[in-house]
Amino acid sequence: YGKNTIKFLRLHKEGKKDVVKEVEVCTHLRLISAQEYLEGNNSLVIPTDTMKNIVLVLAKKNGIPTIEQFAIDLCKHFMTTFCQVAYIKTYVQEVPWQRLHENGVPHIHSFICVPDGIRFCEAEQCRNGPLVVFAGIKDLKLMKTTQSGFEGFYKNEHTTLPERHDRILCGELFCKWSYGECRDFDFDCIWYTHKIRECILEAFSGPPDCGEYSPSYQKTVNSIEMNVLSKVSQVQVIEAILNNTFYNVVDMKNLGVTNDKEVLVPVETPYGSCACTLGRKKFLEA
Amino acid sequence: YGKNTIKFLRLHKEGKKDVVKEVEVCTHLRLISAQEYLEGNNSLVIPTDTMKNIVLVLAKKNGIPTIEQFAIDLCKHFMTTFCQVAYIKTYVQEVPWQRLHENGVPHIHSFICVPDGIRFCEAEQCRNGPLVVFAGIKDLKLMKTTQSGFEGFYKNEHTTLPERHDRILCGELFCKWSYGECRDFDFDCIWYTHKIRECILEAFSGPPDCGEYSPSYQKTVNSIEMNVLSKVSQVQVIEAILNNTFYNVVDMKNLGVTNDKEVLVPVETPYGSCACTLGRKKFLEA
Amino acid sequence: YGKNTIKFLRLHKEGKKDVVKEVEVCTHLRLISAQEYLEGNNSLVIPTDTMKNIVLVLAKKNGIPTIEQFAIDLCKHFMTTFCQVAYIKTYVQEVPWQRLHENGVPHIHSFICVPDGIRFCEAEQCRNGPLVVFAGIKDLKLMKTTQSGFEGFYKNEHTTLPERHDRILCGELFCKWSYGECRDFDFDCIWYTHKIRECILEAFSGPPDCGEYSPSYQKTVNSIEMNVLSKVSQVQVIEAILNNTFYNVVDMKNLGVTNDKEVLVPVETPYGSCACTLGRKKFLEA
Amino acid sequence: YGKNTIKFLRLHKEGKKDVVKEVEVCTHLRLISAQEYLEGNNSLVIPTDTMKNIVLVLAKKNGIPTIEQFAIDLCKHFMTTFCQVAYIKTYVQEVPWQRLHENGVPHIHSFICVPDGIRFCEAEQCRNGPLVVFAGIKDLKLMKTTQSGFEGFYKNEHTTLPERHDRILCGELFCKWSYGECRDFDFDCIWYTHKIRECILEAFSGPPDCGEYSPSYQKTVNSIEMNVLSKVSQVQVIEAILNNTFYNVVDMKNLGVTNDKEVLVPVETPYGSCACTLGRKKFLEA
CB B225 within 8 A of CB B232: no
Specify the amino acid at residue B216: S
pLDDT tens sequence across A85-125: 999 999 999 999 999 999 999 999 999 999 999 999 999 99
Residue C286: is its pLDDT beyond 70? Answer: no
Radius of gyration over alpha carbons of chain A, in Å?
23
Pairs of residues, one from chain A and one from chain D, whose beta carbons lie less than 8 Å apart: 17
The confidence score (pLDDT) of residue C281 equals: 63
For chain C, say whether A80 makes contact (Cβ under 8 Å).
no
B259 assigned ligand-binding residue:
no
B82 assigned ligand-binding residue:
no
Mean of pLDDT values over D178-184: 87
Interface test with C, best of B245, B254, B271 (most C CBs within 10 A): B254
- ipTM reported for the complex surpasses 0.90: yes
The confidence score (pLDDT) of residue C284 equals: 43
Chain C residues in contact with B158 by the CB 8 A cut-off are 255
Interface test with A, best of D252, D253, D255 (most A CBs within 10 A): D255
C25: which strand partners?
A: C6, C92
Give the model's confidence band at B286: pLDDT under 50 very low, under 70 low, under 90 confident, else very high: very low
The confidence score (pLDDT) of residue A281 equals: 63
Q: What residue in A sits closest to B148 (Cα-Cα)?
A: A109
A148: which strand partners?
A: A214
Interface of D with C in 220-259 (CB under 8 A): 247, 250, 252, 255, 257, 259
For C57, C88, C133, C138, D143, the CA distances from C72, given in Å and listed in that order, are 15, 11, 8, 20, 28
Residues annotated within the binding site of C are 48-49, 150, 167, 218, 244
Which of the 8 DSSP states describes residue A272? Answer: E
Residue D194: is its pLDDT beyond 90? Answer: no
Mean of pLDDT values over B116-139: 96
Interface test with D, best of C16, C52, C98, C108 (most D CBs within 10 A): C108
| Secondary structure (H, E, C), chain D | CEEEEEEEEEEEEECCEEEEEEEEEEEEEEECCCHHHHCCCCCCCCCHHHHHHHHHHHHHHHCCCCHHHHHHHHHHHHHHHCCCEEEEEEEEEECCEEEEEECCEEEEEEEEECCCCEEEEEEEEECCCCCEEEEEEEEEEEEECCCECECCCCCCCCCCCCCECCCCEEEEEEEEEEEEECCCCCHHHHHHHCCHHHHHHHHHHCCCCCCCCECCHHHHHHHHHHHHHHHCCCCCEEEEEEEEEEEEECCCHHHCCCCCCCEEEEECCCEEEEEEEEECCCCEEC
Chain C residues in contact with A273 by the CB 8 A cut-off are 2-3
Interface test with C, best of D10, D262, D265 (most C CBs within 10 A): D262
Mean of pLDDT values over A196-214: 96
Bridge pairing between strands C284-285 and C271-279? antiparallel
CATH 3.10.270.10 fits B140-285, yes or no: yes
User: Measured between CA atoms, how close is B230 to chain D, in angstroms?
Assistant: 15
Give the model's confidence band at D282: pLDDT under 50 very low, under 70 low, under 90 confident, else very high: very low
Residue C211: is its pLDDT beyond 50? Answer: yes
Q: What are the structural domain ranges in chain A?
A: 1-129, 140-285
Which of the 8 DSSP states describes residue C208? Answer: T
Q: Which of B160, B256, B266 is facing C255, going by the closest CB pair?
A: B160
Mean of pLDDT values over D77-82: 97
pLDDT tens sequence across C138-190: 999 999 999 999 999 999 999 999 999 999 999 999 999 999 888 888 899 88
Q: Which of C158, C256, C268 is facing B268, going by the closest CB pair?
A: C268
Q: Which of B59, B168, B207 is facing A263, going by the closest CB pair?
A: B59
Chain A residues in contact with C41 by the CB 8 A cut-off are 152
Radius of gyration over alpha carbons of chain D, in Å?
23
Pairs of residues, one from chain B and one from chain D, whose beta carbons lie less than 8 Å apart: 190
**Would you call D269 and B2 a contact, using CB atoms and an 8 Å cutoff?**
no
Residue A280: is its pLDDT beyond 80? Answer: no
User: Measured between CA atoms, how close is D155 to chain C, in angstroms?
Assistant: 29
The confidence score (pLDDT) of residue C121 equals: 97
pLDDT tens sequence across B154-163: 999 999 999 9
* Backbone torsions φ then ψ of D163, nearest 5 degrees: -75, 140
**Would you call C150 and A42 a contact, using CB atoms and an 8 Å cutoff?**
yes
Chain A residues in contact with D268 by the CB 8 A cut-off are 268-269
pLDDT above 70: percentage of residues in chain A:
97
Chain C residues in contact with A160 by the CB 8 A cut-off are 49-50, 53
Give the model's confidence band at A285: pLDDT under 50 very low, under 70 low, under 90 confident, else very high: very low
CA neighbor of C82 nearest in space, from C10, C185, C2: C2
User: Measured between CA atoms, how close is D179 to chain C, in angstroms?
Assistant: 26
pLDDT tens sequence across C239-249: 999 999 999 99
pLDDT tens sequence across B236-260: 999 999 999 999 999 999 999 999 9
Cβ count within 10 A of residue A86: 17
Q: What residue in C sits closest to B255 (Cα-Cα)?
A: C158
User: Measured between CA atoms, how close is D114 to chain C, in angstroms?
Assistant: 5
Chain C residues in contact with A60 by the CB 8 A cut-off are none
**CA angle in degrees (0–180, nearest 5) for C93-C97-C99:** 145
- 3-class secondary structure, A225: helix
User: Measured between CA atoms, how close is D160 to chain A, in angstroms?
Assistant: 7
pLDDT tens sequence across A114-148: 999 999 999 999 999 999 999 999 999 999 999 99
Specify the amino acid at residue B61: K
pLDDT tens sequence across A181-204: 888 888 988 888 768 999 999 999
The confidence score (pLDDT) of residue C190 equals: 87
Q: What residue in D sits closest to C113 (Cα-Cα)?
A: D141
Q: For residues A193 and B282, which has the higher predicted lDDT (pLDDT)? A: A193
* Backbone torsions φ then ψ of A37, nearest 5 degrees: -80, -45
Mean of pLDDT values over C78-87: 97
The confidence score (pLDDT) of residue D285 equals: 43
Give the model's confidence band at A284: pLDDT under 50 very low, under 70 low, under 90 confident, else very high: very low
Mean of pLDDT values over C74-93: 97
**Would you call B160 and C265 a contact, using CB atoms and an 8 Å cutoff?**
no
- How far, rounded to the nearest angstrom, does the alpha carbon of residue B25 sit from its chain's CA centroid? 14
**Would you call B31 and D153 a contact, using CB atoms and an 8 Å cutoff?**
no
Q: Which of D158, D255, D266 is facing A158, going by the closest CB pair?
A: D255
Q: pTM of the full predicted structure?
A: 0.95
Q: Which of D140, D208, D252 is facing C60, going by the closest CB pair?
A: D252
Mean of pLDDT values over D30-35: 92
Q: Which of D2, D48, D158 is facing B57, going by the closest CB pair?
A: D158
Give the model's confidence band at A207: pLDDT under 50 very low, under 70 low, under 90 confident, else very high: very high
User: Measured between CA atoms, how close is D5 to chain B, in angstroms?
Assistant: 5
Which of the 8 DSSP states describes residue A65? Answer: S
For chain A, say whether C159 makes contact (Cβ under 8 Å).
yes
- d(Cα B169, Cα B214) in Å, to the nearest integer? 9
CB D223 within 8 A of CB C118: no
The confidence score (pLDDT) of residue C282 equals: 46
**Would you call B286 and D1 a contact, using CB atoms and an 8 Å cutoff?**
yes
Give the model's confidence band at A286: pLDDT under 50 very low, under 70 low, under 90 confident, else very high: very low
The confidence score (pLDDT) of residue C269 equals: 61
pLDDT above 70: percentage of residues in chain D:
97
D175: which strand partners?
A: D137, D240
Chain B residues in contact with D47 by the CB 8 A cut-off are 150, 153-154, 159, 161
CATH 3.40.50.12160 fits D1-129, yes or no: no
Average pLDDT, chain B: 93
**Would you call B284 and D34 a contact, using CB atoms and an 8 Å cutoff?**
yes
- C-contacting chains (≥3 CB pairs under 8 Å): A, B, D
Give the model's confidence band at D281: pLDDT under 50 very low, under 70 low, under 90 confident, else very high: low
Cβ count within 10 A of residue B172: 17
Give the model's confidence band at D1: pLDDT under 50 very low, under 70 low, under 90 confident, else very high: confident
Residues annotated within the binding site of A for 5-hydroxyisourate are 48-49, 150, 167, 218, 244
**CA angle in degrees (0–180, nearest 5) for C57-C61-C63:** 100
Interface of A with C in 185-224 (CB under 8 A): 214-216, 218-219, 221-222
For chain A, say whether D265 makes contact (Cβ under 8 Å).
yes
- 3-class secondary structure, B82: coil
